[in-house]
Homo-oligomer: A and B are copies of this chain.
Amino acid sequence: MVGRFRANIQLGRGALPLSAVRTNSEDSCPMNPRINDALPSWKDGEAKYAISDFVARVGSEDSPDFVPPPERIAVFDNDGTLWSEQPFYFQGLFIFERVRALAGQHPEWKTTQPFQAALERDWNTLGEFGDKGLLELAMATHAGMSTAHFAEIVNAWLNEARHPQLQRRYTELVFQPMLELLDYLRANAFKTFIVSGGGIEFIRTFSERVYGVPPEQVIGSSIVTKLETLEGCPVLIRQPQLNFLDDREGKPVAINQHIGRRPIAAFGNSDGDLQMLEWVTAGSGARLGLLLHHDDAEREFAYDSHSAAGQLGRALEQAPARGWTVVSMQRDFERIYPLQPDAVS
C-alpha cells in the first residue's frame, strides 16, 4: 500500500493512475480530469485521485484490495479536519465563554489562574497552562449538570455565538470538501466516525445535523458521568473529573474501545492525529491516511507548528515515508466553507 501510493505520487500531478479512471462511469472519457463528481469542491490533483483510487479499490469485488462493507470504517479528527480551529479550538472559546458566564458565582476566579487569564482573554498566559489549564477550565464549567442540560447550553451557544474574525456561526465553518468526502465515503458503504480530542458530548450536539455522523459514531474526550436519581427519575450527572483524554496515544485506544476494529482510512490535520494515522495505516490490506494542511492564509488560516491549536510538525514530516496523502487547502480545495448558512438547531 505505502509503495502503491508513493508510486502514484511519483507519477506527478498530470498523470492519472489508471485505477482512478475506473471510478468514472462506463461511458465517461478517461481524459476528462473531473473523475469524481461526488467531490465537486475538490480540485483535481493527487489528493482527489488518491481518495477516488482508494475508494474504487476497496469497493470493487474484483479488486485484490476489496474490503467487505462492514470493515469499511473511516475515522475523522474534528478540530482542523472537519471545521476550523483558529484563533483557538472552538470548544476552547466555548469554555472561556462559560468561565465568563459563571464568574459571578466564583469571585475567586478573578485572582486564580487559569481562570483569571480566561476572564482577561490573556491567550499568552493561557497558552502557558497548555492542555492541563484548558482541562481545568472545562472541569469547572462543564460539570455539575445533567448530560441533557449540558447539551442545551452547547446548543444555545452554537446558535448565538459568531466567530470573532469571520462573523459566521461555528457550525458554518465546516469544510465543504470534507462534508462531500463524508458523503462520498458513506455512499460507498463506509461507516464514518469522528475521533476528536474535543468533548464527546459537545460534538454530539451538532454532528448528526452538520456532518451526518450520528452520536453513536462520535468518539471524543469525556468527563465522568454518574447515574443519580432526581425527583424519582434516573439522570446522568456530569462530574468534574476527567474520564478519558482522546488525543495522541489515546486515539487508537479509544477507537478500539468504541469500534472494536481497526479502521481502513484516517483523516487528520495535526500531531495529535499522528498515532491514529500510524495505527490505522499499519494495518494489512488497503489503507488511506490523509493529512489536511492549513496553508491558505487568504481563505482560511495558515499555520503548522506555530499555533495555539492544532500544531502540525512530526506528522507532516512522516507523511511521505508512510504514504499519507497531504491535502493542501490552498491547492486542493475549490471552496472552503459551505455556501448555505447552517440551519438554526
Contacts and interface: CB of A to CB of B under 8 A. Distances in A.
A258 B227 CA distance: 15
Nearest to A215: B260
Quick one: copies of this chain in the complex? 2
A269 B233 CA distance: 22
A111 interface: no
Contacts of A215: 259-261
A85 to B, nearest CB: 22
A278 B234 contact: yes
Interface in A261-283: 261, 275, 278-279, 282
Interface in A195-226: 200-201, 204, 208, 214-218, 222, 225-226
20 contacts: A200-B257, A200-B260, A201-B260, A215-B259, A215-B260, A216-B217, A216-B260, A225-B253, A225-B256, A226-B249, A227-B249, A227-B275, A227-B279, A234-B252, A234-B275, A234-B278, A236-B252, A236-B253, A243-B257, A258-B258
A91 interface: no
Contacts of A3: none
A256 B236 contact: yes
A70 interface: yes
A155 interface: no
B70 A208 contact: yes
Nearest to A229: B278
A191 interface: yes
B200 A226 contact: no
Contacts of A218: 260
A125 interface: no
A147 interface: yes
A278 to B, nearest CB: 5
- Most chain B beta-carbon neighbours within 10 Å: one of A215, A218, A227, A261: A227
Contact of A259 (B208, B216, B225, B259): B216
Nearest to A225: B253
A213 to B, nearest CB: 11
